[in-house]
Amino acid sequence: MRIILLLLIAALAASAQSLRIYAIDTEGGKATLYVSPSGESMLIDTGYAGFANRDADRIVKAANEAGVKRINHLVMTHFHADHIGGVPQLLAKLPVDHIYDHGEAVENGAVMAAYLGARKNLPYTVLRAGDSVPVKGLQVDVVSADGKAIKKAMKGGGQANPLCASYKAMEQDKGENAHSLALIITFGKLRISDLGDLFWNQEYDLACPTNLLGTVDLYMTTHHGTKTSGPSQIVHALHPRVALMNNGATKGGSVEAWSTLRQAPGLTDIWQLHYSNVGGKDHNAPEQFIANPAEACTGEWLEVTGLIDGTVTMKNHRNGFSKTYKR
């Protein structure tokens, strides 16, 4: 009995000193739960509406696994259905203390109307580049919002980026993706980029002519690994050790984005929420790194444990496979 008690105490102590992240499968949408060592929680996006509450139920299941009873900070990167759609259903299942977004919508419709109806009953903050989300125990910096990037380099950034000379802009995005919130999350020496669905041209503003962000340990792929985000100018400058792709079977996971990642200097592995149908055998991670290897999935998640010294441990909830990446 005493041994069991000591093991429980040790597990609780380890949890109190680590950042836990749950990349939840919303089948091509986004919902990522961050649990600070302080116990405060931040959920970035909520997946889709409908599907018999599928995405809200999956978020609640991951939250229960994490011991989270309420969402302290709900951050909506932008106003697309795969990001804000699940807000009304989530609020019916979990209390939320505060909600954040980029402000005025560029695109409107029924999903946006439902979101605004749900948001009106919550404390609410508009985020701008240079702001932060006040998660106790973490530093959560907004580096782009509403189409505008930070102007000054972050600590560790400011280096000239030689890849900028080969950059080619895409046709301007006139929708929500160009206005997406983009975040850098810091826990001690550990740094994570979570840039939402930020568009190619707006990512350039963060990377060129100088790299304003510096390097990261974990790269959450931008826009599900879609080819209109993730130019080499920013991905390679970030120099991540490991990447997590929140793709679906038929959304994201593009050959172009996967190849840019695979060629990134210093990158060890890519972990994926789904096997990408378009990627085929040559542009997908090995099976043990994929949470949902079949299109008819059961909504498995990927779990990340981050330590203050920069160590990252990735775990596949489906099969228990894990791997640790030390600095």
How many whole angstroms separate alpha carbon 270 and alpha carbon 230?
14
Number of structural domains found in the chain: 1
How many whole angstroms separate alpha carbon 316 and alpha carbon 301?
7
CATH number of the domain at 284, please: 3.60.15.10
Secondary structure element (H or E) that encloses residue 206, with its range: helix 200-207
- Give the Cα-Cα-Cα angle 148, 154, 156 (nearest 5 degrees): 145
Residue 16 confidence (pLDDT)? 58
Q: pTM here?
A: 0.94
Residue 89 Cα to chain centre, angstroms: 21
Residue 221 lies in a domain: yes
Residue 176 lies in a domain: yes
Residue 13 confidence (pLDDT)? 47
Residue 327 lies in a domain: no
* Residue pLDDT, tens place only, 237-259: 999 999 999 999 999 999 999 99
How many CB atoms neighbour CB 225 within 10 A?
A: 31
* Residue pLDDT, tens place only, 21-75: 999 999 999 999 999 999 999 999 999 998 999 999 999 999 999 999 999 999 9
Residue 244 lies in a domain: yes
User: What domain range is 165 assigned to?
Assistant: 19-322
Which stretches in the chain have pLDDT values below 70? 1-16
